[in-house]
Homo-oligomer: A and B are copies of this chain.
């Protein structure tokens, strides 16, 4: 060992001990005949002192240390005269006796500080230096702890972690696969798993009873801030369970995480139906850190000659408490926000509740104060509140626009603090959603999801109305996990495939191995999967999942540090019997 102690553990109680530390030079300061060096390792920072009077040569050696040099120091722990209450080691310093430079360092391209001067691109290229920053490394320490606590909880509940293969077959009905040419089977390709969905269902057929895996999954999709081509799931499945059992089990897991990681006792998770989530929040992942629930206004505002509302299929609004102080400019900016093409509203109506209780709106010429008072009553609005209203000819689309407005205003009003957590289950998802693109019903979750038993008769008469035994866990407006009870009955599965538009032959081609397995005694089963990257970034209070991933890829799917992807050797093409076939243009 190059050290007897770390840079994070010495306290006043250690005063007088001779210790050896090793770490990186955070900074050096020369003050009179003294040189101070902050020595950093994963565990903290400790101040070293070199005294010119005592040992001029050693002090001179310390003066020559550059930032990020790796050094080993032996010395005696002493009490600081000038204590630093912000540092855990701030009561002590090391009176250095020997100094060994273990390695020099070139000047880093950015400062190794919590608030670095390095831009994103530079930090990605030198990710190994970026990871030296306490803030970034802290996220990965958190990730380790969370993964460990997930395992501890699930192991305690009798779950077995089973590794499923990475080189698999293409996923039917999924996103785009990454593929891997097989040298031993020329012309054939493996796919990387988008999730171990079918394999975990096979493990249930095998009687594994309770399975989990913290596992890398892969989707070749165009990337955004919260998407990576490879991401990590906490993937779980249970046999002989109903939906309630799964909700209880994984509510227990998230409570365990909040308690062990953040020291928070979580209240029992509320449950909201998908229909209510859409009705009151315009989103299947409502941010419930704040209220501002939608109020439908068709009965209140229709029929007074305002053609925008009179022709609308949906009129709804939110009430921003105390936001009547918004200036005209601020309100215009909200209007601009909802009119952006990404959101697509045609306009926004507002109404202020004045100090005297009267309501002043942007459409006063169509509405009497009496109607406006009804509006106020619909929201139980009070003086000082601001009512914001959207309308449109498609109720669902308008609700989604109103959701964006709600989140935006909530952010402006400081109602979405990162250290407050609001968790819930969204349940009773529809089985199907209509795809304009494919002109057919698509499985909302996946084709193995079980309908609610009481809705099974509707499969024949009104499949779009059938609700699934599917559920999502939502925290602060982020879907952190989701799953369903699966179909274990071959006849019901056949019917579901029919509704999805598959012939028996197509179903056999796409899902044959799973359907064959189900012939041999599939137990009732269900499960869910959490996105670990998202869960960690929520706990860490991060906007993006990138900083809780050690070596993330950029929006072009590149690792600029490794230089991946890259060119292949001609011999590799030859062995794999493939070639590049670039499109013109």
Instruction: Mark out the residues of chain A between 229 and 254 whose CB falls within 8 Å of any chain B CB in the assembled complex.
Output: 229-230, 232, 240-242, 245
Known: A70-B523, A182-B565, A513-B563. 18 other contacts (CB 8 A): A70-B521, A103-B489, A127-B202, A137-B208, A144-B155, A144-B161, A148-B161, A163-B232, A166-B216, A168-B564, A179-B576, A186-B580, A190-B565, A191-B564, A203-B550, A513-B561, A577-B582, A578-B580
Complex CA distance for A208 and B138, rounded to whole angstroms? 10
Binds B, one of A115-123, A312-320, A392-400, A566-574: A566-574
Contact yes or no, A68 B144, CB < 8 A: no
Give the distance to chain B from A172, nearest Cβ to Cβ, in Å: 11
For the complex, is A83 an interface residue (Cβ under 8 Å from B)? no
Contact yes or no, B581 A22, CB < 8 A: no
Contact yes or no, B24 A557, CB < 8 A: no
Give the residue name and chain of the B residue nearest to A198 (CB).
Answer: B562
Instruction: Mark out the residues of chain A between 112 and 144 whose CB falls within 8 Å of any chain B CB in the assembled complex.
Output: 126-129, 131-132, 137, 140-141, 143-144
Contact yes or no, A42 B186, CB < 8 A: no
Q: Which of B216, B513, B564 is A163 in contact with, Cβ under 8 Å?
A: B216
Residue from the set A155, A178, A199 with the largest chain B CB neighbour count within 10 Å: A178
Instruction: Mark out the residues of chain A between 208 and 234 whose CB falls within 8 Å of any chain B CB in the assembled complex.
Output: 208-210, 216, 218, 220, 222, 229-230, 232
Instruction: Mark out the residues of chain A between 9 and 40 whose CB falls within 8 Å of any chain B CB in the assembled complex.
Output: 22-24, 40
Contact yes or no, A564 B2, CB < 8 A: no
Q: Which of B147, B169, B551, B556 is A563 in contact with, Cβ under 8 Å?
A: B169
For the complex, is A549 an interface residue (Cβ under 8 Å from B)? yes
For the complex, is A41 an interface residue (Cβ under 8 Å from B)? yes
Q: Which of B102, B164, B573 is A551 in contact with, Cβ under 8 Å?
A: B164
In this complex, how many residues of chain A approach chain B with their Cβ under 8 Å: the count is 119
Complex CA distance for A222 and B184, rounded to whole angstroms? 8
Contact yes or no, A128 B202, CB < 8 A: yes
Complex CA distance for A127 and B203, rounded to whole angstroms? 10
For the complex, is A61 an interface residue (Cβ under 8 Å from B)? no
Give the residue name and chain of the B residue nearest to A583 (CB).
Answer: B577
For the complex, is A288 an interface residue (Cβ under 8 Å from B)? no
Q: What would be 20 A-B contacts, judged by CB atoms less than 8 Å apart?
A: A69-B521, A70-B523, A132-B206, A137-B208, A140-B162, A140-B208, A143-B163, A144-B155, A166-B192, A166-B216, A167-B229, A168-B564, A176-B183, A178-B180, A180-B565, A183-B220, A190-B565, A199-B551, A577-B582, A578-B581
For the complex, is A285 an interface residue (Cβ under 8 Å from B)? no
Chain A contacts to B: CB under 8 angstroms: 1-3, 22-24, 40-43, 68-70, 102-106, 108, 126-129, 131-132, 137, 140-141, 143-144, 147-148, 151, 155, 160-170, 176-192, 199, 202-203, 205-210, 216, 218, 220, 222, 229-230, 232, 240-242, 245, 488-489, 513, 517, 519-524, 549-551, 553, 556-559, 561-568, 572-573, 575-583
Give the distance to chain B from A472, nearest Cβ to Cβ, in Å: 22
The interface residues of chain B lying within 8 Å CB-to-CB of A140 are 160, 162, 208
Complex CA distance for A531 and B353, rounded to whole angstroms? 69
Q: Which of B105, B245, B556, B566 is A519 in contact with, Cβ under 8 Å?
A: B105
Given A148-B161, A522-B103, are A188 and B551 neighbors across the interface (CB < 8 Å)?
A: no
Residue from the set A163, A169, A209, A242 with the largest chain B CB neighbour count within 10 Å: A163
Give the distance to chain B from A375, nearest Cβ to Cβ, in Å: 49
Give the residue name and chain of the B residue nearest to A206 (CB).
Answer: B131
Complex CA distance for A207 and B134, rounded to whole angstroms? 10
Give the residue name and chain of the B residue nearest to A516 (CB).
Answer: B126
Contact yes or no, A566 B188, CB < 8 A: yes
Contact yes or no, B128 A184, CB < 8 A: no
Q: Which of B128, B151, B168, B191 is A148 in contact with, Cβ under 8 Å?
A: B151
Q: Which of B208, B523, B557, B575 is A184 in contact with, Cβ under 8 Å?
A: B557
Contact yes or no, A167 B513, CB < 8 A: no
The interface residues of chain B lying within 8 Å CB-to-CB of A144 are 155, 160-162
Residue from the set A188, A210, A230, A488 with the largest chain B CB neighbour count within 10 Å: A188
Give the residue name and chain of the B residue nearest to A512 (CB).
Answer: B563
Give the distance to chain B from A225, nearest Cβ to Cβ, in Å: 16
Give the distance to chain B from A552, nearest Cβ to Cβ, in Å: 8
Contact yes or no, B520 A129, CB < 8 A: yes
Give the distance to chain B from A223, nearest Cβ to Cβ, in Å: 8
Contact yes or no, A520 B106, CB < 8 A: yes
Q: Which of B187, B203, B207 is A40 in contact with, Cβ under 8 Å?
A: B207
